[in-house]
Homo-oligomer: A and B are copies of this chain.
Amino acid sequence: MNQIEIISENSNCTAINVGSMDKWNEYSIIFPISRREVKGKIFLKDATQATGTEISLNSLPPKAELPDFHFHKKNEETYIILRGSGLFLVDDDSFPIEEGSVIRVAPEGKRCITNTSDSEMLFICIQSKAGSLEEYTIDDGEQVSIKGVES
């Protein structure tokens, strides 16, 4: 499967399925200006109708790197490495990354990822507007009793 399936959609929720992690490399996007195809990348915002994040699921082949360093105008990014290992570069800094690494980059940081290993690297990248979060952890949440069962 390399297309997004809608599981459920209602007034408070949109749920999709993109397929197993082994299939993320079958997706690709076309960059709008350069018309260059980037394989192994799935953007989720339109599919999930998200309003606070743009999330991408990414597969980087062995020994490959993101095509360019880039920075952002307004958005902070958080990268979560799920599989594989490599090198993360920010400005003049570089450091090894692997499964379980989480990297938060401010908009102005010039960043790139290289997969230095012989196996696929999988990672999630989350864009959100820098400084936008007001409440967090569990403070923004409220438990509810529902269907007559008290929590």
**A residues bordering B, Cβ < 8 Å?**
7-8, 10-21, 23, 31-32, 43-45, 47-55, 57, 67-76, 78, 80, 82, 88, 90-91, 93, 95-106, 108-111, 124, 126-138, 140-146, 151
Q: Specify which chain B residues have a CB less than 8 angstroms from the CB of A142 in the assembled complex.
A: 70-73
Do A69 and B126 contact each other (CB < 8 Å), given the known contacts A31-B138, A101-B7? no
Q: Specify which chain B residues have a CB less than 8 angstroms from the CB of A144 in the assembled complex.
A: 68-71, 110
How many copies altogether?
Answer: 2
Q: Specify which chain B residues have a CB less than 8 angstroms from the CB of A134 in the assembled complex.
A: 74, 129
Return the chain B residue nearest A76 by Cβ: B52
From B43, B80, B136, B143, A68 is in contact (CB under 8 Å) with: B143
B75 touches A7 (CB 8 A): no
Do A52 and B140 contact each other (CB < 8 Å), given the known contacts A12-B105, A44-B78, A151-B69? no
A100 touches B50 (CB 8 A): no
CA distance A103 to B136 in the complex (A): 19
Do A98 and B17 contact each other (CB < 8 Å), given the known contacts A133-B53, A136-B54? yes
